[in-house]
Structure 1
């Protein structure tokens, strides 16, 4: 299904732009200033602009109101009115020239197309700053668009800023950089600026009406720097600390770095130490240094050699030339790492570790003088230091033999503690792993996920990584009653049913490869078998090319199509057939590249017609979404192709509604998918199916991102007599 990209709300910043004649003024003064603080509460008929460009913005459509919204006076728009400047946008903000726009906005919701401001007449010569759903949620200019990396949520005040110069658009949210876009903006002048909508010249209709509150809008005919953007939103303290606030530093020798928050800062006093209260009070004993501001307003001072394991606080006080305080500065903290052991093997929080594993390995910490390894199945004993495997190991030792063979289906704990000599010791992180379950012929477990949409929004990757972490350590967990109870056993692999990416771009595909790997070597601890979907690009795209390349490295496959895309394999005598987007011949734009031919070939190669088959595809049979994406004649052809064969189940994605249903008497499983990643005021939802086949039954249970169970079912699985297991 069409997953829309980061719906950014409020690009409010919009472009304000306006008006008439330039008057002499300071170079730093904005061209346009719309400030709701100057307005009287109640209905608004005109909003006068200050700054170097003066003039009225008249209301058209319904009358907006000036109200107090969460402590700010603002103009509240319902999407049915807009403001139009009396004078045209000036040439200073057109034709590729530098400009900056800043605004305070609170969108009511993120939905549809909502324009905060625009200028230019025709679509190809106009800039729109807005909020809503879609890829150009921050800016649209003809065929060019830019989106927020992190979409600001609705129902909250946000300061948005856009700066443009020499083909680079920088977006800031609440005083912090959000994203940089390389694009060319050449808006046309001679037409009015429109606030809260977009309108073509000579057309009385308007579109994209903004719903929310606008407290201020300012425009400059130059590029603002980061400090100036922060100043516009009322922030004047030093910023950009290095080490970052809350960071853990590996090095002991630290230089403190920052940016001055005001261009009139003459001197800075840096307070620093392990006594946070002294730093907060700016006590003289916490004064590390006083130094003049540099010409570029970047500060740096050496903090010296610090002690591992301690937390340090610091702040930067800014002083004027006369010595008076300009800003006291925020208190930042960082911690110096004790240099613990790292890089454990087996990896921590993974299941399926082979029982023939004979050694533990790790990377010793940088300060180690000796090491002690704790190991066992008793978590508390390992934590407490009573389960000693070996003590007094030299600092260079990186592995150790296990005392006995590992047992099937057991959870083990271990850690490496370090004596760091004169420095504080490092207790070491508690690591854990679970071994593979005892193999049972005819028993099969696998996981199924779909529609990860890498690239949809910045929140997608953390959500998918969280999902992977849950998969990695799920074995041993109790299944829900609806799936027949018992525990989740070690999966043979993970099947991904397509729409891996949101736009089929190479960087999105590489993010998938980074997280899912191929054979359990990446964040995901199990082999993965992926399909392509409608969001994954065409035949010449990065995703399909990547699948072809990966199929060459999948040694477990029983067959690969002649074009290298479609493939099949067997688990416990069940033939899994991947036809990718759908069974079909060829078409545009969602070309299955003759997957139906591959399906027929694979069915013809079964041991007999009773051998169980599980069909994997992206498009499904649900009436909500899937049917309109692939032709009815293809579905009829599929029905004829599989008639008489033991197709035990079909798994698909695309629909974005987890479901379990039947098609032509076949059990169909519509796999979990990403949801609400582009709706910032809602939590991201995702999940996967846990599938277990044993003793003539197939259990399918939805495992959600919140680590709760969702829908579940228990079906009869037709292990026809004579089928190998």
Structure 2
């Protein structure tokens, strides 16, 4: 794991040297003509690293399949996709992919859609580096060999990373550690080079963005506009980021943990005394107003896809609120999405590695033409 100094604004008063200033990000529009795009990448979600000691898991993790062996199979599958071709058929039917039958290009990175750990990093009563975060980093921080992802990893946090309170007086330690991990992996400064630097990092919300050719990508963590558990909303940052980087109509892809599926949008049902899609009570995860506020910021931009996690067993490709949305099966169950964006098309293939053999099976596919 990378060295993590104390959090965020601690450098502001360091002798007037301006050590806290992030490296400047030039407006993509100001740089002239839009660069060409042919970007292949991976997306996964819900890793749920579960170790709490050298050889024991959090309660129920083993029964749910959240084991280190499962993560090793998932990592092996991710690392092997460059040996495959884009599927011509899925389930005996033509995949419809523009890339069908062609060799899969080496992925530019792996983007994660939250719940990297099962219990806030795996903390204990006294603040210290959590075993779950150590386990996560030992598998999903770029490295060599069969037990590490071989691509740059773009980290994202979910409710399992951020919702759990620590033991008083260290209530926020869990959240601080996970947010530190994201920042130190993606936020470069004048004197610090992040392992996977973002082009634009918001120090308050931990939202960040980067570009692959003419494609603009944005990580929104739990969800765009999250102010839960003292989080600071990143919607103002997102509005400015899109204005600076995507006002010329270039394609934009967003990543976050919550989606527009029935699980992500369920409400309390007082009759059934549970949260479900039919409830009329308070929202379980994020509210109608929060979704509307995020969608309002996205208006007028060429958002070609939104990727999320949260729901574990079901691969999903659907349209929600006017956007094409994608959710693979959870990482600990072997799931991931293979994505290719060119100037002419978007291809998405959802896949799952077998829980025993690790063999990859493509389960769902989506393709659409792009213009503008």
1:600 pairs with 2:239: yes
> Which of 698, 714, 717 lines up with 2:366 in the alignment?
714
Shift of 1:597: 2.4
1:579 pairs with 2:220: yes
Q: Structure 1 575/554 Cα, relative in aligned 2: closer, same or farther at 3 Å? A: farther
Partner of 1:401: none
Shift of 1:671: 2.5
Residues 86-134 of structure 1 deviation map (CA, whole Å, 9 limit, x = unaligned): xxxxxxxxxxxxxxxxxxxxxxxxxxxxxxxxxxxxxxxxxxxxxxxxx
Residues 163-184 of structure 1 deviation map (CA, whole Å, 9 limit, x = unaligned): xxxxxxxxxxxxxxxxxxxxxx
Partner of 1:567: 208
Shift of 1:466: 1.1
Cα RMSD (Å) of the superposition? 2.3
Partner of 1:492: 108
1:491 match: secondary structure: coil
Shift of 1:665: 2.0
Q: How does 1:224-303 map to 2 (within 5 A)?
A: none
Q: How does 1:301-340 map to 2 (within 5 A)?
A: none
2:81 match: secondary structure: coil
Mapped partners of 1:607, 1:712: distance in 2: 29
Mapped partners of 1:478, 1:648: distance in 2: 23
Residues 685-704 of structure 1 deviation map (CA, whole Å, 9 limit, x = unaligned): 32111112235222111221
Structure 1 length as normaliser, TM-score?
Answer: 0.35
Partner of 1:442: 37
1:704 pairs with 2:352: yes
Q: How does 1:213-232 map to 2 (within 5 A)?
A: none
Assess if the C-alpha contact under 8 Å between 1:446 and 1:690 holds in 2: yes
Residues 627-679 of structure 1 deviation map (CA, whole Å, 9 limit, x = unaligned): 4310110111112111111111100000112200011221100122056xxxx
1:703 match: secondary structure: strand
Greater per-residue helix proportion: 2
Which residues of structure 2 form unaligned runs of 5+? 1-34, 51-57, 89-94, 123-129, 164-171, 188-193, 267-283
Which residues of structure 1 form unaligned runs of 5+? 1-439, 676-684, 721-725
Q: How does 1:444-593 map to 2 (within 5 A)?
A: 444-455=39-50, 457-458=61-62, 459=65, 460-481=67-88, 482=95, 483=97, 484-504=100-120, 505=122, 506-518=130-142, 523-538=148-163, 540-541=173-174, 542-552=177-187, 553-554=194-195, 556-563=197-204, 565-588=206-229, 592-593=231-232
Assess if the C-alpha contact under 8 Å between 1:624 and 1:655 holds in 2: yes
Q: How does 1:81-480 map to 2 (within 5 A)?
A: 442-455=37-50, 457-458=61-62, 459=65, 460-480=67-87
Assess if the C-alpha contact under 8 Å between 2:37 and 2:212 holds in 1: no
Shift of 1:609: 4.2
2:245 match: secondary structure: coil
Structure 2 length as normaliser, TM-score?
Answer: 0.67
Shift of 1:719: 4.2
Shift of 1:613: 0.9
Q: Structure 1 654/646 Cα, relative in aligned 2: closer, same or farther at 3 Å? A: same
Assess if the C-alpha contact under 8 Å between 2:208 and 2:219 holds in 1: yes
> Which of 628, 633, 637 lines up with 2:289 in the alignment?
633
> Aligned pair count?
270
Q: Structure 1 579/695 Cα, relative in aligned 2: closer, same or farther at 3 Å? A: closer
Greater per-residue strand proportion: 1
Shift of 1:451: 0.3
Q: Structure 1 581/592 Cα, relative in aligned 2: closer, same or farther at 3 Å? A: farther
> Which of 334, 337, 343 lines up with 1:689 in the alignment?
337
Mapped partners of 2:144, 2:213: distance in 1: 20
Q: Structure 1 571/586 Cα, relative in aligned 2: closer, same or farther at 3 Å? A: same
Assess if the C-alpha contact under 8 Å between 2:37 and 2:215 holds in 1: no
